[in-house]
Amino acid sequence: MRLARVTKDGKIGLAAKTGDIVTIAYGDDLADLDAHIAAGTLVEAGEKATAGEPVDEASLLFLPPVVRPAKIVCLGLNYRDHAEESGLGIPEHPVLFARFASSLTGHKAPIILPKVSEQLDWEAELAVVLSTGGKDIAEADALDHVAGYSVFNDASIRDYQLRTPQWTAGKNFDDTGAFGPYLVTPDELPAGAAGLKIECRLNGEVMQSSHTGNLIFSVARTIHLLSSFMTLQSGDVLVMGTPGGVGVARSPQVWMKAGDVCEVEIESVGLLVNPIVAQ
């Protein structure tokens, strides 16, 4: 199933995409994917959306698939070429940082270029939403804890990120964590969403191109390692890191400007499009 929390004509609904057909059923409770994941009712909700009325996908405004995860755990330097271009070495342990839900934005919504910086950069990433949590989850069982996958643009304010050792500020500006459009259930994808092409395009020009098989720490290994030190919870989001080709590592450096359009696409998972708008 491919499910999205959307609004149409001011009403909130749950959209389902089956092939090229998009259907919608309305209702705040029905569209509450966080609640369905927690209650284990995602399939039932998806069936209601699939049986809903056909709708023109272009008429929908997309919200992030989940909006109140207990944790958003991001991996840095999780592709070899990006670790190398960053000059920070290949990690032996996952490099982790946190995003907060206040930084999330949806498909087609703007990524905001803030007043205080010009250094707005893109990062194409695979997002993972957990179904059930747990502690000390075995790597072999880890993918049983995945509710679905989606696309993420971990848009980063580089001067704020890199002027201190901790990256939290530069990774948590409002309207920079673009997420969506659809939550895609694992049955639609290869195990661990591995081996899928991942690409970032800025104004149509390819800036990053890799595949998810290049992850240093796979989805299963990441769930296992995280759960070795903290209890994972239903609805937690993991953002799996970005391949090489970010703007900060280019010569000359490239930053996203107001009026730009940034696209992140992961094969079989989706296409996430965001215009850049000045604060």
Binding site for Zn ion (CB under 5 A): 123, 154, 242
Q: How far is the CB of 230 from Zn ion (least distance, A)?
A: 20
Q: Which single residue is written with the structure tokens 């694992």?
A: 186
- Closest residue by beta carbon to Zn ion: 154
Q: How far is the CB of 274 from Zn ion (least distance, A)?
A: 15
Q: Which is nearer to Zn ion, 75 or 142 (CB)?
A: 75
Q: Which is nearer to Zn ion, 105 or 242 (CB)?
A: 242
Q: Which is nearer to Zn ion, 156 or 185 (CB)?
A: 156
Q: How far is the CB of 159 from Zn ion (least distance, A)?
A: 16
* Length of the chain, in residues: 279
* Contacts of 270 by beta carbon, 8 Å cutoff, 6+ apart: 2, 150, 151, 180, 181, 182, 184
Considering only CA atoms, which of 80, 11, 22, 29 is closest in space to residue 49? 22
Under DSSP, the state recorded for 70 is S
Q: How far is the CB of 241 from Zn ion (least distance, A)?
A: 6
- Position 101: which residue type? A
φ, ψ of residue 16 to 5 degrees: the values are -125, 135
Q: How far is the CB of 53 from Zn ion (least distance, A)?
A: 37
Q: Which is nearer to Zn ion, 123 or 175 (CB)?
A: 123
Q: How far is the CB of 123 from Zn ion (least distance, A)?
A: 4
Q: Which is nearer to Zn ion, 131 or 242 (CB)?
A: 242
Q: Which is nearer to Zn ion, 31 or 193 (CB)?
A: 193
Q: Tell me how far apart the terminal alpha carbons of the chain are, to the nearest angstrom.
A: 35
Cα distance between residue 63 and residue 6, in whole Å: 6
Q: Which CA distances in Å does 56 have to 8, 20, 146, 264?
A: 10, 10, 29, 22
Q: How far is the CB of 78 from Zn ion (least distance, A)?
A: 8
Considering only CA atoms, which of 213, 219, 80, 247 is closest in space to residue 144? 219
Q: How many CB atoms lie within 10 A of CB 16?
A: 23
Q: Which is nearer to Zn ion, 81 or 144 (CB)?
A: 81
Cα distance between residue 94 and residue 115, in whole Å: 32
